[in-house]
Structure 1
Amino acid sequence: MVGLVISVYATAVIYNCRFMTLLAVMGSLVGSVLCFIKGCTYVVASYQDYFVNQGRGIFMLVEATDVYLLGTVMLVFGMGLFELFISNLDVAKSTSEETTTRRSNLFGLFALKERPKWLEIKSVNELKTKLGHVIVMLLLIGLFEKSKKAAILTPTDLLCFSGCVLLSSGCLYLLSKLH
């Protein structure tokens, strides 16, 4: 009898340890907000460079896209962890429209009728797959940023560059076919 009580308490303690993932959720959401703010500063600096200094702000816009994607990775990761370990409410199955719009809008502007497809995460492997897709996009943007600075002087350089573009395109094609 005592062993059964200890087993029940141990199971409850172990199950409640899932709330430790709130630290990771909060950290990644704060990091996501910081990335979005940093991306906005890159966009503002790009416009200032273009309009005030008559420069070219394309490199800053590419960096902003890179930082926005990193923020998106952190957002998806945080929301996925919350969905996997903490949340036991299913907004999509909510029957009351008032409850749904109160939970899922921004000052009444963006009412969601159902849960977004990208947030339907059933396992850690699914979360890793979604994060992998976004990380590949981050790498491709990094490749695009580096390719703008690359000097193509010889036919070998051109061949290597075109091979790199072909491999990147193939990677995106394969990712689109995976589910």
Structure 2
Amino acid sequence: MQIEKAIIDCRFFTLFAIAGSLLGSVLCFVEGCLLVMESFAHYFRMISQGLDQTHMMHLLIEAIDSFMMGTALLIFGVGMYVMFVRSNTSSKETEARFSDSKIVTKLESAPRWSGMQSIAEAKLKIGHAVMMILQVGVLEKLKDIPLVTGFDLACFAASVLTSSACIFVLSRLHHQYSCK
């Protein structure tokens, strides 16, 4: 009985991953906000001095990248918390723990916005977020490449099509998995 309790209590080691994920999410959101503010500053300088807008677009693409990574980390952290920590503690134990507080958490299952109820769904979500981040990275890299010949244009189209197809396939896998 004691060994079983010790093994079950090892699930709390996931708190390290959860804390790291949530802290990483906060850092990504802060970085994204700073990039957006920097792009606004560049925009106003661009208007007054007649500068090119490519740097501003680059900053906004980086901000979107940071926000997407932050969102993926947030969803992953909340999903891991609910799957490993929260789902195995009884609600009476939680209510007794927080009876003095005005905040009583009621997370019995993962929130609907997290979209995950198992580790496999968490992997699909993270994989989808990574593919979206890679898609943004591909488009960011490709905007710096000059399209001189028809072959350059064909390679550009093929790379965009391939990365978009990967995102489509992942979304279909997620849809099939959630329908089962």
TM-score range, shorter chain: 0.7 to 0.9
Which residue number corresponds to residue 79 of structure 2?
Answer: 80
1:44 and 2:37 correspond: yes
Distance 2:82 2:139 in 1: 33
Distance 2:140 2:165 in 1: 19
Q: Which amino acid aligns with 1:11?
A: E
Distance 2:66 2:17 in 1: 20
Give the TM-score taking structure 2 as reference length: 0.77
Contact kept in structure 2, 1:83 and 1:121, CA below 8 Å: no
Distance 1:136 1:90 in 2: 37
Q: How does 1:61-80 map to 2 (within 5 A)?
A: 61-80=60-79
Relative distance call for 1:147 and 1:103 in structure 2 (3 A) is farther
Per-residue deviation, residues 85-107 of structure 1 (Å, max 9, x unmatched): 0113799xxxxxxxxxx768xxx
Relative distance call for 1:22 and 1:47 in structure 2 (3 A) is same
Which residue number corresponds to residue 12 of structure 1?
Answer: 5
Distance 1:23 1:52 in 2: 43
Distance 1:103 1:157 in 2: 58
Distance 2:75 2:14 in 1: 14
In structure 2, the gaps of 5 or more residues are 92-102, 176-180
Relative distance call for 1:61 and 1:155 in structure 2 (3 A) is same
Which residue number corresponds to residue 172 of structure 2?
Answer: 177
Q: Which amino acid aligns with 1:61?
A: L
Per-residue deviation, residues 44-68 of structure 1 (Å, max 9, x unmatched): 0001001024442111000000011
Which residue number corresponds to residue 95 of structure 2?
Answer: none
Distance 2:154 2:76 in 1: 37
Contact kept in structure 1, 2:78 and 2:114, CA below 8 Å: yes
Distance 1:90 1:118 in 2: 23
**Dislocated runs of 4+, deviation >3 Å:** none
RMSD: 2.3
Contact kept in structure 1, 2:22 and 2:77, CA below 8 Å: yes
Count the aligned residue pairs: 153
Distance 1:177 1:117 in 2: 19
